[in-house]
Structure 1
Amino acid sequence: MALPDFFLLGAPKAGTTALHAALAQHPQLYLSAVKEPKFYLCDGGPPRRSGQRGPGDAHSAQEWVWRRREYESLFDVAPAGTLRGESTPFYLYDRLAHRRIHADVPHAKLLVVLRDPIDRAYSNWMHLWADGLEPIGDFASAFAAEPQRVAAGWAPFWHYRGLGLYGEQLRDLIGVFGREQVHVLRYRDLVETPDAAIDQVCRFLGVETGHVAQPARENSRSYVEPGPRTAVLSRVVRAGAAAGAWVPPQVWRRASGPLLSYLQKGGARRPVLDAEVRMRLVEFYRDDNALLTEIAGVGYSDWMGATSRGQFAPSGNES
């Protein structure tokens, strides 16, 4: 039975894509060709439609690898002697996933990548907005809409606030696996001191250092300016994504490609999040930040200020 030896967890837009690509270069590691298979978000069956009711959710859910044989086959081709791994950031957020992973791979090592929760949420919103799926063109308003969206069954990718409550999530993860099996990595360190950060990861996994190049700058979106054109195109995208729930995912991806290219045409510079808005939202995380500091044993006070932190994307964009 081929199952992972380690997992990359965290939250969307926190650098797991870049870290996955970087670690895949290591000769002693094998990362699944499918990133984010989401197997442990499921319980032996396909993702429930009742939890996939946001724009594009049901279409995206078709790409989840929920059949055990298909999941195991992701690791069948791993070279002998390599450590196998996969990346599904949502595993940190989903408490049932913690227990499913532990039941299958109790010895698993867990890499947890954390990013400033406001920066992460803003980038998450920007990603969905640029893809034409986010119907609210103001980040703070979309952030505030989360309770209604959760109640309506929108998938976790829309949980801008909840995904950033790392203290609670890490506490529960360590409660299942123990502290020695969890390595916490800051997104900021991947940006500012990538070599040292990657070496720490390699030492935690028990493989040689010095085999991995710096994480690539990838997985970013250009900013899409609000306006009548954006509103019309986005409505078409959301309607198409809803219809795409009933056809193979590759069909909608091919059909939507030209439309998304036109929507994102121009590559406008992303606006920096207003400092006043940021400080208002920071208050949602103050208690959780204190919990995270207690659990991790290091401070995250820089997340509580008015300044955004490091990013992977080219100048003007965020990953």
Structure 2
Amino acid sequence: MLILVASFWFGTSGVLAKPAMDAGLSPQQVAMVRITLAAVVLLVSVGLARPALLRIRRSDVRVLIGYGLVGVAGVQLLYFAAVSRIPIGIAMLLEFTSPVLVALWVRFVRRTILPARMWVGTVLALTGLAMVAQVWDGLRLDTVGVLAGVGAALCSAGYFLLGEHGTTTISPVGLVTWGMVVGSVAIAVIAPPWTLPVDRLVADADLGGLDVPVWVLLVACAVMSTAVAYLLSITALRHMPANVVSVLALSEPVVATSLAWLLLGQTLTAVQVAGAAVLLGGATLVQLAEARREASPVDAG
């Protein structure tokens, strides 16, 4: 249940951010506000409740910096850049090809033999991606938006790989919290807080026919779609296997697409909906194959 709630809140990020960008904020400014506020919320809440989780060693600093730059700042900047140019559901689907990228990294960089099921899942995911982007029609989607979505997927793969390495010595909560801090500092260099247009922050944005102040959307995106969602997903890992969590988390693109349709009027073609199903099916196969591979006994011979 926790991971489904977390996936719901993760899925709202694009829907909350898009009206703010339509009101005049840049993707960089939205990402900066989201990550900075989330970092503050996590630092305060974790610092008061479980300060021991924030302890790190000097040897962990490099992993934290990489995690914050790639897995936090990179993902957010590129995802919001994609959302500003292509439908939210498609941007989310592009990002969710990251399990395939992780599998390819494991195969060709770590030189680990992957099961056939993982290759089938990879082919399905790439086929679904081609259907979503409708590549046979000259890539009907905005090219820059698609490239930003693919970049978000690459950074998301880095998020998983660096997170896998980091959590061997750092608590997951500490890793996410300090990753947010590093990411917020990095994005603040690109979009300094003092450059935020105050008049745009207090202006109203259209969200499903409702006039909502931009600052309210940004606070909700930072607190609910980021801090709360991350904490819920981490807590879920304590109650169920990671492979189950990762598969249930695939409900996030469904949430994002549904909310974008209901609140923003963004629709997908029948081919794109079918492609989304194929892509998610392939990603699920990759996740399950990876879980089975990790659970298999290691051959000592």
Q: Normalising to structure 2: TM-score of the pair?
A: 0.28
Higher strand share: 1
Higher helix share: 2
Q: Normalising to structure 1: TM-score of the pair?
A: 0.27
By relative contact order (CA 8 Å, sep 6+), the higher-ranking structure is 2
